Amino acid sequence: MSPPCLRRSFLAVSLLFALLVTGHAATLIPRGVPWNYFKGTTEPSNPIGAWRAVAFNDASWSNGLAPFRYGDGTGGTLLADMRGNYTTLYLRRAFNVSEAALISRLNLVVNYDDGFMVWINGNPVLSENAPGTPTHDSTADTEHESGSFETIELADPQSFLVDGENTIAIQVFNDD
């Protein structure tokens, strides 16, 4: 475990998918692109959870490049005010899909510290070290150190992807 002054919060995300018919992989959201984000000092929507919906208007949120981090590391968006002020971060981004019915596999490639939950088009698709009922002041269930990218397959992508514009919403949790 790193000393508290060296702990970092880091989330870099890429979405990859493979088409069943062609077997070719394509990147839906490349690394280092801008995301809309909201610091978890309060709930980002009323009712709680409305921010995950496709129709939610996040125009008032800040915009920054991935990865999102505090402490050490380089590049992306530095959240220098996170320590002692908030334990969560909310992220949203639109991405386009053509022929969603042909997508047989969808992978999330992520480097994270300490936990997160992912919704696509309002559907929960992944939870890693996240609390059962996430709020703006939630913390991760356990510690998970960043440092390398992990590939996690999202089950049944045809059940939540649509042709055209899709929305991914992510809530990131620190452990303290």
What region does 49 belong to: left with phi over 0, alpha with psi -120 to 50, or beta?
A: left
Q: Report the C-alpha gap between 105 and 133 in whole angstroms.
A: 28
Taking the model in full, what pTM does it have?
0.89
CB atoms within 10 A of CB 143: 15
The residues facing 118 across adjacent strands are 126, 170
The residues facing 36 across adjacent strands are 63, 92
pLDDT tens-digit profile, the chain (176 residues): 333 333 445 566 555 554 443 456 788 888 889 999 999 999 999 999 999 999 999 999 999 998 888 776 778 899 999 988 999 999 999 999 988 988 888 988 888 888 899 999 999 999 988 988 998 999 888 787 777 788 888 989 999 999 999 999 999 998 87
Dihedral of the alpha carbons of 58, 63, 67, 71, in degrees to the nearest 10: -110
Nearest C-alpha neighbor of 144 from the set 172, 121, 164: 172
